[in-house]
Amino acid sequence: MQKRKLGNSNLEVSALGLGCMGMSFSYKPFPEKSASIALLRAAVERGVTFFDTAEVYGPFINEELLGEALEPFRGQVVIATKFGFDINPDGSHGAKGLDSSQERIRQVADASLKRLRIDVIDLFYQHRVDPNVPIEDVAGAVKDLIQQGKVKHFGLSEAGAKTIRRAHAVQPVTALQSEYSLWYRKPEEEIIPTLEELGIGFVPFSPLGKGFLTGKIDESKTFDKTDIRSTIPRFTPEARKANQTMVDLLGTIAAQKKATPAQIALAWLLAQKPWIVPIPGTTKLHRLEENIGAVAVELSAEDLQQIESAAAKITIEGARYPEQVEKMTGR
């Protein structure tokens, strides 16, 4: 597995990470705990060193899962987790929705360290920007945790360019995590140039469009109401039918390259910048191996130009989130 550095930081990780949310959040039915532990360990054996979780996934269960699965590999892997939601000790969600108060950040750090069975959090993201707490205060709280030796690196998730700049001025931001793929390219407008200028790494989540870019989801597929995709406008049958042209494009390139559509989608992301590290999520070993195979797929300048000119003619239908969720992004 190739390695990459996140921006100007010294944080080196595998070129592809593993998003662990789906093992216990948003995509029911969840696998057996033993199966998830086996998959996490299989990822390490195959060279993956970057694992993504969050307090809110479960809540708490996902961090506990990673803590148990990755304990034998302490010091060999990088674990990223997140704070920022108002969660009660019993796991129920508090009335505030978001909470990035300095006291709460300190509480989450201590609790996450215990659940993850580690001495220091490698990368601590603010999960969503809290409009009620100045980003300078958030960055200051994480800076204190770094000075105390509880956290190594500070990250932001789905933040806007101005917020990134303000945070970075207080405590250097190592990585931004936001959605980015061939079917969601908004970060190219303002975010990616800002990250490049400031020397911040980019960690795209949903790099396979929540599964759509794999080519395994057509207009006839139905989603259980417990599946997050059942609430997403982009996943209505009409939108899926309209958006199939993007999957067809990936299939065309994949056939030329003797690869799969998913591998082309990931290889395209890896080709955009050397400091981009996608974190596709999966609960299946064959998908993990397929995703890892994307690192070996080389797209030439001609290939990228072919994708670019074809993609430019495609209009993606449907919003990526319901309106109330979308409001929490890009602040």
Tokens of 310: 């074809």
Is the residue at 218 inside a domain?
yes
Rg (CA), the chain: 19
- Burial class of residue 181 in the structure, from the number of CB atoms within 10 Å of its CB (0-12 exposed, 13-18 middle, 19+ buried): buried
Distances (CA, A) of 134 to 13, 99, 167: 30, 12, 9
CB atoms within 10 A of CB 310: 16
Query: Count of domains in the chain?
Result: 1
Q: Domain containing 209 — which CATH number?
A: 3.20.20.100
Q: What is the mean pLDDT of the chain?
A: 96
Confidence band for 126, pLDDT divided at 50, 70 and 90: very high
The pTM (predicted TM-score) of the whole model is 0.97
Is the residue at 246 inside a domain?
yes
Confidence band for 3, pLDDT divided at 50, 70 and 90: very high
pLDDT tens readout for residues 137-148: 999 999 999 999
* Residues above pLDDT 90, as percent of the chain: 97
Rounded distance, CA 21 to CA 275, Å? 23
Quick one: how far is CA 2 from the chain centroid?
A: 19
Q: H or E segment at 43? A: helix 33-45
Tokens of 48: 């993956």
Tell me which residue has tokens 């990228």: 304
Question: Parallel, antiparallel, or unpaired for β 3-5 and 12-14?
Answer: antiparallel
Peptide bond into 59 cis (omega under 30): yes
Is the residue at 299 inside a domain?
yes
Tokens of 251: 């299939």
Instruction: Report the pLDDT value the prediction gives residue 82, as an integer from 0 to 100.
Output: 98
- Whether 218 shows a pLDDT value over 90: the answer reads no
Is the residue at 331 inside a domain?
no
Rounded distance, CA 201 to CA 179, Å? 14
CB 260 within 8 A of CB 185: no
CB 273 within 8 A of CB 202: yes
* Residues known to be catalytic: 57
What range does the domain containing 160 cover?
3-326
Instruction: Report the pLDDT value the prediction gives residue 299, as an integer from 0 to 100.
Output: 97
φ, ψ (nearest 5 deg) of residue 135: -60, -25
pLDDT tens readout for residues 14-58: 999 999 999 999 888 899 999 999 999 999 999 999 999 999 999
pLDDT tens readout for residues 59-88: 999 999 999 999 999 999 999 999 999 999
Is the residue at 272 inside a domain?
yes
